[in-house]
Amino acid sequence: MADDTTVRVRIAPSPTGALHLGLVRTALYNWLFARQHKGRFILRIDDTDPVRNREEMLEPILRGLRWLGIDWDEGPEVGGPHAPYFQSQRTERYRQVVTELLERGAAYYDYATPEEIAEERKAAQAEKRLFLYSRRWMAETKEQAHRFEAEGRKPAVRLKMPREGRLVIDDLVRGRVEFEWQREQDQVIQRADGTFLYHLATVVDDHDFAISHVIRAEEHLSNTPRQVFIFQALGWPVPRFAHLPVVAEPGSRQKLSKRKMEKYLKNPDFAELVERGAKIARAIGLKTSPEVFNPVMVEFYERVGFLPQALVNYLALLGWSLDDRTEFFTREELLRSFSLERVIGAAASFDPKKLMAFQVHYMLELGLDEKVALVLPYLVKAGLVHSPPNPRETELTRKIVEAAGDRIKVAGDIVDYQEFYIEDDRLSYDRAARAEWLGSAQQLKMVALFKERLSQMARFDRQELERLIADISAAEGVKTGELAQTLRVAVTGKAIGFGLADTMAILGRERCLARLSRALETKLT
Ligand code: GLU
């Protein structure tokens, strides 16, 4: 284990416009490791791809990390001693290092065209052997280079990888991993157009930023030999590596991908989550693309009103466990318990149902005022209350949130209770509910009767309301449940919701009366 004070870890996202769950999980493990060791957590931006090199593509990543409380000590917006933390601004440094690799004989100019490489690859495939570049257009002398250039060729720079022996890596998660050098390609590190590739840039940055531990997704394990080769060729200390299992899709071991929505929607829990999101987005007029507004991306959870602590707790367990029993960890507990040694080797499947269970758990821990504060912004966005909400609206919301209990699983679920906010004379009725529960003369008679008795009630509260409903149902010979449904549709416009007495108590007598009148007056279509 490195000396605690020297622990420096990083994540290195490309600015892709959205924060993927897999990346956040990697970020979280890096962050926990850094904080545990009183080290530094660095955010570096791998923006060598010019199409993606745009600020608005980075913003959602920074925002998502902040929302989850994964703060970085060096990087965009906070700066640091090794600035700039953007690869696009470090090309001069990469140029120097490429020159040094060439001088040391660890890299060479290669004048092959892409077609020639493709041909060699094809031939290898046809012969069912591993493709290894023949180095036919490698120029090691000025004369060779001149000859190729005379043909109009432009050089890329490739690593000159060893072709025998093996590399052993002691991975902090996977243990001993062996690679045979003869299976490693001469990776291009600088393209013929002068741009630099990830493998070079990442090693230079990891060295220059004094990264002690590279904790990253498993898909980079196969990249490690050529990166270690660069470190060693330059005489630089090699960081420790820890390759984390992939975050897999629901019910399989394949990597969770934003491009497989159709497949994931066949999973009922995933579909439910998407539906919940769609409902909330519709209600608050949220226009956002499926690229970011789907459960593979963190933005989805923030927008629909998940609690960051629920997501952090869930993600912590997506590839790590303390003892196969303990599920709930506060941030402090995670900081005490997390260790790379207990990161599992196998892919961890994203389970929307389990995530929801964490969300519900953390919602239950909140006080009423905290929940009200969480839901109010959704009501503002839906145009159901003023901005800022007035005391009457806040009080109404308090009552609704209290009565709803654990029905409000994410903050945005408050939009299920729109009917309370709509002005009484503008209440609309669900067509099917109205046909079923307000369609007959008998049902309307019940509404009228109830209305009359309600206006005469001495005390207006839940118990009295319950008594009144029971009285009428006994006297008129209708089932209590049926009478309640009729009245529910009359005062809320819908056949679903929490207890009728609760609903009416929240609305208050005047609003109930106004709504009962409206139900009686509105012509049935
Ligand atoms: N930009 C790379 C990625 O997001 C970084 C990989 C690494 O951590 O070395 O996959």
**Digit-coded pLDDT (tens) for 92-102:** 999 999 999 99
Residue 54 clears pLDDT 80, i.e. is over it = no
Residue 4 clears pLDDT 60, i.e. is over it = no
Residue 162 backbone zone (phi > 0: left; psi -120 to 50: alpha; other: beta):
beta
Residue nearest to atom 6 of ligand 1 (CA): 12
pLDDT in tens, 406-438: 999 999 999 999 999 999 999 999 999 999 999
Q: Is 258 a catalytic residue?
A: yes
Asked if residues 159 and 232 have their Cβ atoms less than 8 Å apart, the reply is no
Average pLDDT over residues 236-261: 95
Amino acid occupying residue 369: D
Asked if residues 213 and 312 have their Cβ atoms less than 8 Å apart, the reply is no
Amino acid occupying residue 162: P
Query: Within 13 Å of residue 346, how many CA atoms lie on the same side as its CB?
Result: 5
**52: confidence class by pLDDT, cuts 50, 70, 90:** low
pLDDT, residue 1, reads 45
Residue 76 Cβ < 6 Å to ligand 1: no
Average pLDDT over residues 30-52: 91
Q: How far is the CA of 345 from the centre of ligand 1 (A)?
A: 19
User: Please, what sign has the CA dihedral across residues 73, 75, 77, 82?
Assistant: positive
pLDDT in tens, 62-97: 999 999 999 999 999 999 999 999 999 999 999 999
pLDDT, residue 522, reads 75
Q: How far is the CA of 216 from the centre of ligand 1 (A)?
A: 7
To the question of pTM greater than 0.85 for the whole model, the response is yes
Residue 398 Cβ < 6 Å to ligand 1: no
Residue nearest to atom 5 of ligand 1 (CA): 12
Q: How far is the CA of 227 from the centre of ligand 1 (A)?
A: 12
**Cα(380)–Cα(435) distance, rounded to whole angstroms?**
32
pLDDT, residue 510, reads 97
pLDDT, residue 402, reads 96
Asked if residues 241 and 10 have their Cβ atoms less than 8 Å apart, the reply is no
Residue 524 clears pLDDT 90, i.e. is over it = no
Residue 316 clears pLDDT 50, i.e. is over it = yes
pLDDT-above-70 percentage for the chain: 98
Strands 213-217 and 240-244: parallel
Residue 364: helix, strand or coil by DSSP? helix
Q: How far is the CA of 61 from the centre of ligand 1 (A)?
A: 14
pLDDT in tens, 158-187: 999 999 999 999 999 999 999 999 999 999
pLDDT in tens, 123-160: 999 999 999 999 999 998 999 999 999 999 999 999 99
Q: In the predicted model, what is the mean pLDDT of the chain?
A: 95
Choice from 202, 226, 257 to test ligand 1 binding pocket (greatest atom count within 8 A of CB): 202
pLDDT, residue 525, reads 44
**288: confidence class by pLDDT, cuts 50, 70, 90:** confident
From the list 258, 263, 381, 399, the catalytic residue is 258
Residues facing 42 on adjacent strands: 10, 74
Choice from 8, 9, 14, 226 to test ligand 1 binding pocket (greatest atom count within 8 A of CB): 14
Angstrom distances, CA of residue 365 to CA of 36, 357, 360: 26, 13, 9
For residue 309, give every residue at least 6 positions away whose Cβ sits within 8 Å of its Cβ, in sequence order, or none. Answer: 330, 331, 362
Q: How far is the CA of 441 from the centre of ligand 1 (A)?
A: 68
Residue 107: helix, strand or coil by DSSP? strand
pLDDT in tens, 346-399: 999 999 999 999 999 999 999 999 999 999 999 999 999 999 999 999 999 999
From the list 67, 80, 81, 1, the residue with the least C-alpha distance to 33 is 1
pLDDT, residue 290, reads 87
